[in-house]
A and B are shown apart, each in its own frame.
Chain A
């Protein structure tokens, strides 16, 4: 029943509907984005989102989850991420406890039955191996059951019965070898656990992968994904984003903010101002009660937009700030 509902809810009727839905939750997408999201849902394929930092890649997954009322499951990638953190892990400690509990039970029953104290050690040794022989299959079945399984994000997304959006964030941070972990999940939506067998998803979750492009992802991964490149917005769209995200900002101010930022992005900087930095800047200006931007205002608040000393120096020179 849950899956029925999921199938229904994560079903976008058209690219235009996606665009509308995204706008409804305050995410103003560029023209290509809704089309790719819609297609990803239609074809049941993951969407690989690339682009400069701070253009709303992670935000896109959150917005899609919000608009469709789905749960967002997030896997933050980092160097050294392994399957124990990404897929599943056996709960060692609980398994140990379970084994010990079983052993002490068995031990107690044997100790009651035995008489001769001298041969205790030898007999207990034999008894245990015998008890182990009997109970081993049960025990193994028991400690390798779902009760002792810790589901990590990928498995959790596969097992979910409610609609989920799976976000695999900054996938370029994991090593090439670890990428292979993702392949089974991404192409077949299943996870193979040697002790339990293959777990298949009851529904196809919508998957987003984001990458800052610090390295080339493997062909195998790319082949399984749809590709979406999100770039910095143009002046008009940035103005609308600022309007939507910063309550109480005047139209003219939003326009000026967008124009200054667009100009900064044409410069040759270490790091261009991101959308989130634009929004921060606009918020600051509103808080300061600024109603129009001039050179002094830009100079004094440039450090919100640019985070490198060399960048600030260059921008000051290029924009002829005092």
Chain B
């Protein structure tokens, strides 16, 4: 048991979770208290002792399901046992994942179970569906997504959703009110998500049976949301990033607000000290200090929003605006080869996401051909807004500095630096790519107070934190 546990903890550590020694000891103690009969309890207990942050829960879930995939009593890898107790209630006596049911019958049963919201039956049918449709073969070197795709093509989730909606509509008399329709759709979607999840889990179980947990865990390993590269994020990863950024901004905002208020003591407040000493008979027991009032910096963000770096600009702007209360003023400018101020778009709406969406429609950022031209954009910035940059302004320039071989106008950055408090450059490319091809990152970097590589949320967070 202990060996198993320490192997499992090793797998968690490989997946990027920090599990300390004392936590491992706790887990061992806890497991010795409960035994391993109850799988759900076992999982809850391991989760409570080993995973101390909800952000890591998905990773834990995945590792657990891979690692203990075949160690529960109810999971038999061979298709012949694919009908667990629940499916016996489906009638028609003996049927089996492989031969008892035809394709249509299985889909029909699945549809009935989904409609009734019977989670247990759905799970067992998902298992049957995998053994029937996925066509898994031992030792075949394809990933789990291939099997998932094959199964889902046959199960046809969209078709099922459509049929369930039709049934829901025909249940009442007359057409369904819009609200009920929406509620039904939401409920169906969550049931279909459950089905999809079950199918994925079943495929994973079978893969583990075929290749062993270590190999599967390796292929399934995903980076944590805050480590995902902005430039190469897939659509799902971008969605995960968007979800991750909201709690992050809130955390950052409250952390900064606290730091501002709890800054170091100011000078002695003589009046208050004497006033409070009266209750101790004139002995100044508690000295009082003035509250310091640190000045708030002004921020100007100049962001390249051409295709390659748009996602990066988006996240940075979102982060900066979320903590805008920490700055006296935030102004934002976007460019591709032309440049435009978009501050008004952000100030007019309390939803940063919406404002970002409207930037593309409202800002005039195309000058000639819609390819990045840092030189021209910077020059126009200097001509139009240069005089407004004051000694209290922090200028942040976002971009990969891929200038399409136009002139650099690095003198603008250098002049800004003499005029502003700081000029920083955030580059979403890894440092090793700088100055390759048409990138002139180090020419700009030399003119700035600092140029940072900012490839993922973690690096971005660190930068914004030190900014305020």
Binding site for B on A (CB under 8 A): 15, 31-32, 35-36, 39, 42-43, 45, 47-48, 50-51, 79-80, 92, 96, 175, 213-216, 219, 222-223, 225-229, 235, 259-260, 262-263, 266, 294-295, 298, 310, 318-321
Contact A227–B48 (Cβ < 8 Å): yes
Which one of B146-154, B175-183, B287-295, B325-333 is at the interface?
B175-183
B53 contacts partner chain A, Cβ-Cβ < 8 Å: yes
Residue B33 interfacial (CB < 8 Å): yes
Q: With the chains together, A259 CA to B45 CA distance in Å?
A: 30
List residues of chain A with CB within 8 A of the CB of B351: 310
Q: Cβ of B280: which chain A residues have Cβ within 8 Å of it?
A: 92, 96
CB of B26 within 8 A of CB of A298, answer no
Bound complex: CA A32 to CA B20 (Å): 22
CA of A143 to CA of B177, assembled, Å: 75
B141 interfacial by beta-carbon distance below 8 Å:
no
> B residues within 8 A CB of A51?
54
Min CB distance A296 to B, Å, is: 9
The listed residue (A45, A50, A319, A320) touching B26 by CB distance below 8 A is: A45
B227 within 8 A of A: no
B388 to chain A, nearest CB (A): 31
Partner of A39, one of B45, B53, B281: B45
Q: Are B179 and A35 in contact (CB-based, < 8 A)?
A: no
**Residue of A219, A225, A226 most packed against chain B (CB within 10 A):** A226
Besides the known contacts A223-B22, A227-B47, A262-B187, 7 further A-B residue pairs in the complex with CB atoms under 8 A apart: A36-B48, A39-B49, A42-B30, A215-B251, A222-B53, A229-B57, A263-B186
Give the segment of B5-13, B254-262, B428-436 that binds chain A: B254-262
Ordered nearest first, which 3 A-B pairs have the shortest CB separation? A320-B178, A222-B52, A32-B44
Residues of A within 8 A of B186 (CB): 259, 262-263, 266
From A31, A43, A45, A259, contact of B183 by CB (8 A): A259
- Between-chain CB contacts (< 8 Å), 26 pairs: A31-B40, A31-B44, A35-B44, A39-B33, A43-B30, A43-B33, A50-B54, A51-B54, A79-B261, A79-B262, A96-B281, A215-B254, A215-B255, A216-B53, A227-B48, A227-B49, A227-B51, A227-B53, A262-B186, A262-B190, A263-B183, A263-B186, A295-B177, A310-B350, A319-B179, A320-B182
CA distance A266 to B190 in the complex (A): 10
B44–A36 touching, CB < 8 Å: yes
Query: CB-CB < 8 A to B281: which residues of A?
Result: 96
Q: Which residues of B contact A32 (CB under 8 A)?
A: 40, 44, 47-48
Does the CB pair A295–B33 fall under 8 Å?
no
Question: Contact string, B345-358, partner A, CB cutoff 8 A, digits 1/0?
Answer: 00000110000000
Contact yes or no, A294 B179, CB < 8 A: yes
Which residues in B have some Cβ–Cβ distance to A below 8 Å?
18, 20, 22-23, 26, 29-30, 33-34, 40-41, 44-45, 47-49, 51-54, 57, 177-179, 182-183, 186-187, 189-190, 247, 250-251, 254-255, 258, 261-262, 280-281, 350-351
CB <8 Å contact, B247 and A213: yes
Chain B residues near A319: list those with CB within 8 A: 178-179, 182
Asked if residues A226 and B44 are in contact (CB atoms below 8 Å), the reply is: no
| Complex contacts, A213 vs chain B, CB 8 Å | 54, 247, 251
If A48-B52, A79-B258, A225-B52 touch, does A15 touch B22 (CB 8 Å cutoff)?
no
Tell which of A50, A92, A225, A263 touches B182, judged by Cβ atoms closer than 8 Å.
A263
Minimum CB–CB distance from A114 to chain B (whole Å) comes to 25
A214-B251, A223-B20 known; A229 vs B54 contact (CB < 8 Å)? yes
Q: Which residue of A lies closest to B255 (CB)?
A: A215
Cβ-defined contact, B48 with A42, below 8 A: no
Interface of B is mostly: helix
Distance in Å: Cβ of A267 to nearest Cβ of chain B: 9
Chain B nearest CB: distance from A106 CB in Å? 18
Q: Is the CB of A175 within 8 A of B52?
A: no
A175–B258 contact, CB under 8 A?
yes
Complex CA–CA separation, A226 to B45 (angstroms)? 9
Please tell me if the beta carbons of B54 and A39 are within 8 angstroms of each other in the complex: no
A175 contacts B262, C-beta separation under 8 Å: yes
Distance of A39 Cα from B42 Cα, bound (Å): 11
Q: Which residues from chain B contact A225 at a C-beta distance below 8 Å?
A: 52
Quick one: closest A residue to B253, CB to CB?
A: A214
Q: Which residues of B contact A259 (CB under 8 A)?
A: 183, 186-187
What residues of B have a CB within 8 angstroms of the CB of A215 in the complex? 251, 254-255
B61 CB to nearest A CB, Å? 12
Q: How far in angstroms is the closest Cβ of chain B from A67?
A: 19
B48 interface neighbour in A35, A216, A262, A294, Cβ under 8 Å: A35
A50 to B247, CA, bound (A): 13
Given A295-B178, A310-B350, A320-B178, check contact A216 B23 (CB 8 Å). no
The contact of B45 among A35, A47, A80, A235, by CB within 8 Å, is A35
Whole-angstrom distance between the alpha carbons of A226 and B65 in the complex?
A: 21
CA–CA, A80 to B351, complex, Å? 32
Give the nearest-CB partner of B33 in chain A. A42
**Complex Cα distance A294/B262, Å?**
50
Question: Roughly how many angstroms separate A182 CA and B162 CA in the complex, as a whole number?
Answer: 55
Given known pairs A43-B29, A262-B187, the reply for A223 and B23 (CB within 8 Å) is: yes
Minimum CB–CB distance for B265 against chain A, Å: 14
User: Complex Cα distance A226/B18, Å?
Assistant: 15
Contacts of B48 in A (CB 8 A): 32, 35-36, 39, 47, 226-228
CB distance from A51 to the nearest CB of B (A): 8
Q: A298 vs B49: C-alpha distance in the bound complex, in angstroms?
A: 42
Report the nearest A residue to B21, measured CB to CB: A223
B234 to chain A, nearest CB (A): 20
Q: Tell me, in angstroms, the Cα distance from A43 to B31 when the chains sit together.
A: 11
- With the chains together, A7 CA to B372 CA distance in Å? 71
Partner of A321, one of B20, B49, B179, B190: B179
Most buried by B among A223, A262, A310, A318: A223
B22: chain A residues at CB < 8 Å are 223
Q: Which residue in B44, B179, B254 is a CB contact (below 8 Å) of A298?
A: B179
CB contact between B254 and one of A214, A235, A263 (< 8 Å): that residue: A214
- The residues of B that contact A219 with a CB separation of less than 8 Å are 18, 20
Taking CB atoms, residues of chain B closer than 8 Å to A92 are 280
CA A262 to CA B350, docked complex, whole Å: 25
The answer on a CB contact under 8 Å between B179 and A295 is yes
Could you tell me the distance between the alpha carbons of A85 and B368 in the complex, rounded to whole angstroms? 65
Give Cα A10 to B52, complex, Å: 25
A223 in contact with B52 given A229-B57, A320-B178 (CB within 8 Å): yes
When the two chains form the complex, which single residue of A35, A96, A227, A294 contacts B177, counting CB atoms closer than 8 Å? A294
List, in ascending order, chain A residues with CB within 8 A of B41's CB.
15, 35
> A119 vs B161: C-alpha distance in the bound complex, in angstroms?
103
Chain B residue numbers with a CB within 8 Å of A80 are 262
A79–B404 CA distance with the chains assembled, in angstroms: 51
